[in-house]
Amino acid sequence: MCGITGFYDAHLDRESKSNVLTRMMSAIIHRGPDDSGVYTDERVALGFRRLSIIDLAAGHQPMANEDGAVWLTFNGEIYNYEELRSELIERGHRFATNTDSEVIIHLFEDLGIECVKRLRGMFAFTIWDTKTRTLHGARDRFGIKPFYYAQLGETLLYGSEAKSLLEHPRMKREVNEDSLQHYFTFQFVPDPATLFKNIYRLPPAHFFSFQDGKMEISRYWSLEFRPENKSAGYFIEGTKHLLTEAVRMHMMSDVPRGAFLSSGVDSSVIAALLRRMEKLQTFSVGYAEDTYGDRYDELSDAKRTAELLSTDHRELRVSGKQFWAAVPHIIWHMDEPVADPAACALYFVAGRASEDITVVLSGEGADEVFGGYGIYREPAEVDKFKRFPTPLQGLLRVLAQMLPEGVKGKDYIRRATTPLSERYFGNALIFGEDQKDQLLNISKNRRLMPTDITRPYFDQAKHLDDISQMQYLDFNTWLSGDILVKADRMTMAHSLELRVPFLDHHVVEFAATIPPHLKIAENMTKYVLRQAAKDWLPPEVANRPKRGFPVPTREWIKKDWLHDVRRALESPTAEGLINKQYALLLLDEHLAGKKDNSRRLWAILVFQIWYGLYIDQSISPAPQVQEAAVSR
């Protein structure tokens, strides 16, 4: 895993290109501390930071073909590169290294940018074709690896992280106010926009070609849910086979590797499969306070799993004060505000793991792939209401409208009588529209609705059952906008490569054929995965309910963080965009116990700190605080 950055500018001289590129590369040095490389000519500047994983002595980038006509910068891993390499050798290609990077170059020589369809893995790369004077780029199917870009007239900037683009002298630090509205709805900004004005993400499963100031973006792969009428046994056996294969392929490296381990079945499956193949180090994170009971403690369950698997297990406990002290540094690494406090816990455990290993496998993606979120039970609950006689449904609807907010049953009836596309916006809905009107000091003429983002996905999936529609939305928003952003940034903050076997596209395509009655069955989410897991794990682990990596922000805001939170909300940072009085009202309600506003307050705090770091630059990243945590 590495970092790439660069730009196309036919008007800037080569010396100036080199100076600008140096600044852009310095911004992402954490992504690749082992090596760096540059290529410049009259049109492009390509920069690379390397974290050495495979063929440690070779693999220097930018990498060229034999005649220097094609130049590659590549971030990621291609797990089928040995198979592709053999094919290419049979067709007459000659290799100078044993890297997956060189495979992409020769595959491009044969297939052009369409070569991306042959790749199995996680990747973001650019290819500069000197003969056609075209800059190509691509991103993997799920957005595991990041790719940002900005087009400023005939100039194109790109990078693994947005912070590198901000080092270009033509890139202004401005907030995209449309994206700000979506951030306070979803807790992240959905693709392809970002919270930076004029900076975008290349969407997952897309490639581009940029020539003479014109950019063409194309999709090369789409996830299709096609439920098949086959037995549970068929899906269980298929899952076991494909997951075992995926984990074996994801072990590819010439450096030490391990696994994250929480209380859930996802990480436990990955750890169990790894442990069958080799000795294994596992890493878990929890909280120093023991005053909150077991609501937030996953360490005891993770430790039990580690004992069952006989792994070399390491635990890390973080206090509320240590957590808060790390927040500015964490948000700096995130690039964009993602109001998911679990990112902070991931930051700490990644730091601990990086002391011993360079590659870590984790369970991200399993919930989206196999149907793991509790909200996926809702369609079955809604169907119960729809079985009532029509007159009774109408009567209940009227009665529900008369009930005050918070009364049991009111929200259920409201959701049961609302179409799925108008009630489900993904795994997080932070602020409602009226609340955003009170919070944001922006023009009401540009009021954007959650359905502006979600409707196109529901339109594409309207032929599917409700659970599959919900999964399709989460695949295209939550997975790439939240889950994978924090997974990449929090591990790369410590120069640690994270791999996600559940997002092998062979696994995903197979799981997309599972019918809805086998996604939620016997009152269990991820039914097929849990049954498959019983080959590798005892039932007590395979059947554990999802915890969702809870973080005690609700309690910390009331205690450990109280003065810091109030001081932050009262500060002038971003006051032109945020109604500070409304933010303080939310805090007072939370402290009085009237409402649990912890998620809303966290979203505001994350945005304000991000604004201070990246827009007005009134805040500097906090120093490294990993060593402050308690590990054993």
Contact 489, 333 (CB under 8 A): yes
User: Span 60-88, mean pLDDT?
Assistant: 96
H, E, C per residue of 122-153 = EEEEEEEECCCCEEEEEECCCCCCCCEEEEEC
Domains of the chain, by residue range, sit at 2-176+190-219, 232-372+473-542, 380-465, 553-631
The structure tokens listed for 244 are 């075992």
Quote the pLDDT of residue 41.
Answer: 96
Q: Is residue 625 predicted with pLDDT exceeding 90?
A: no
User: Span 82-89, mean pLDDT?
Assistant: 97
| Parallel, antiparallel or unpaired: strands 257-260 and 281-287 | parallel
The CATH code of the domain at 2-176+190-219 is: 3.60.20.10
The structure tokens listed for 92 are 């007459």
User: Span 70-88, mean pLDDT?
Assistant: 97
Instruction: Tell me phi and psi for residue 126, to 5 degrees.
Output: -125, 150
Give me the long-range contacts of 255-258 (CB less than 8 A, separation at least 24): 255/52, 255/53, 255/56, 255/357, 255/358, 255/359, 256/281, 256/356, 256/357, 256/358, 256/359, 257/357, 257/358, 257/359, 257/360, 257/361, 258/282, 258/283, 258/353, 258/356, 258/357, 258/359, 258/360, 258/361
Pick the more confident residue, 29 or 239. Answer: 239
Q: Is residue 211 predicted with pLDDT exceeding 90?
A: yes
Give the burial string for 225-253 (b: 16+ CB within 10 Å, else e): bebeeeeeeebbebbbebbbbbbebbbbb
**How far apart, in whole angstroms, are the C-alpha atoms of residue 286 and residue 551?**
9
Q: Is residue 40 predicted with pLDDT exceeding 90?
A: yes
Instruction: Tell me phi and psi for residue 536, to 5 degrees.
Output: -120, -20
Round the average pLDDT of the chain to a whole number and report it: 93
What superfamily would CATH give domain 232-372+473-542? HUPs (3.40.50.620)
User: Span 309-313, mean pLDDT?
Assistant: 98
Q: How big is the chain, counted in residues?
A: 632
The full DSSP string for 216-265 is: EEEE------------HHHHHHHHHHHHHHHHHHHT--SS-EEEE--SSH
**How far apart, in whole angstroms, are the C-alpha atoms of residue 383 and residue 390?**
13
Enumerate the active-site residues: 2
Q: Is residue 397 predicted with pLDDT exceeding 90?
A: no
User: Span 281-298, mean pLDDT?
Assistant: 80
Quote the pLDDT of residue 56.
Answer: 55
Greatest CA separation found in the chain?
77
**How far apart, in whole angstroms, are the C-alpha atoms of residue 411 and residue 146?**
38
Query: Residues 246, 249, 253, CA angle at the centre, nearest 5°?
Result: 140
